[in-house]
Amino acid sequence: MDDRELPRATVLFVGPSQSGKSTTIGQLLALRDVVSKEELESATAAAQKYGRDNSFVFLVDAQSSERELGQTQHETYHKLTTQTHMLTVIDTPGHLKYIKNCVAGITQADIAVFVVSAVESELEASMPVITKQLGLVALLGVKNLVFCLNKFDRVQDASERFRALNTKLTALAKSCGHKTVPQTVPVCSLYGDNLTNPSTNMPWYKGMSLISAICDCALPPRLNSKPLRMCIQQVKTIPGAGTVLIGQVGSGTLQAGTSVTISPAQIQATVKSIQMYGEDLKTAEAWDNVGVCIEGPGVKSVLPGSLLSAEADPSKPVDRFVVQMMVREGAPKMLKEGYKGTIDVHCTHVVCKVHQLLYTIDKKTGKPAEVNPKFLKVGDVAW
């Protein structure tokens, strides 16, 4: 079967800094033969240059600042094909100062893989970050959750440690608002243990490998029958191709030759071609991450954060809308009606005002708590 005919899923790798997210993705790409011999040699050379024993991380962290600091700073996208799925893998930063880049990845995910260290001292030090990230993933509606417990080569009494961590993290996920029971998989990403196949180094573990656990997740239905909406994350001018819009199709389908409207500038254009991972695509479906080459007057004025829709059924502007929000640190101690702030929608930043506080949400049950609260405080979730 052509891999483009396989079910598609977007998999977010999230977790605290130094937990091994980039190493895990790099190993998966190597084990699935996604990367070329030249790319592996380049990663090995980069590891030697920066004095690292681990070359797999350099298959993912490509920017010089990331390599020097040993820290992911931007979300990156990678194609990973299995026998049953075509996956878009998103690597996200673990440090809280890059939280906006992490959120950009969360908003696109079908499945969240939480990579955490099984080493007790490292796990305990990163618990505040894990808790915040779990809350964001739940708040932004990612229902499928897989805990990837890394670094089991450094753990004593591995079987007992796995059971304890499974219990602890499952309870934490529930307290952060996750309604489904997550899968938990022990791995050693540095050596590739239990990533794609069961490992002889973990004879005590009888469950699925990481890739099997990911592919076992139930995917939400694609909104292909809904009107076309595509959020534009990047705009590039490519010699020989022209203006290329990069983003994710949120709903509907997109084909070459389609006449589109780009809001809010109301730019009219025609789709010349569509590509995914450098390959031409006849039809882009909901939640596909694609590059769309367009032509027409004014296309050079398209900005990141714009919204692409079909000219026959364009998106309509609004001046009021209902949102669910979480009050985070840095907000006023009492956030009241009339508060003015900036809302970030994908790549767009818009000044808005809180018109009415409808009700708060009980984070454990997801049900309404207080109706028409007078104010919100840090940690509250409300409509």
pLDDT of residue 82: 86
17: which 2 tokens? 């800094």
pLDDT of residue 332: 84
CA angle centred on 221, ends 364 and 88, rounded to 5°: 90
**β-strand partners of 231:** 248, 307
pLDDT of residue 36: 75
pLDDT of residue 139: 79
The closest of 70, 72, 54, 67 to 151, measured between CA atoms, is 54
> Tell me: the pLDDT tens digits for 281-311?
889 998 888 999 999 988 888 988 899 999 9
383: which 2 tokens? 């409509």
Lowest mean pLDDT among 22-26, 118-122, 185-189: 22-26
Give the global pTM: 0.79
- For the cut 90, the answer to whether the pLDDT of residue 358 exceeds it is yes
Lowest mean pLDDT among 32-41, 58-67, 206-215, 359-368: 58-67
**Mean pLDDT, residues 330-336:** 85
pLDDT band of 4, cuts 50, 70, 90: low
Q: Higher model confidence: residue 29 or residue 164?
A: 164
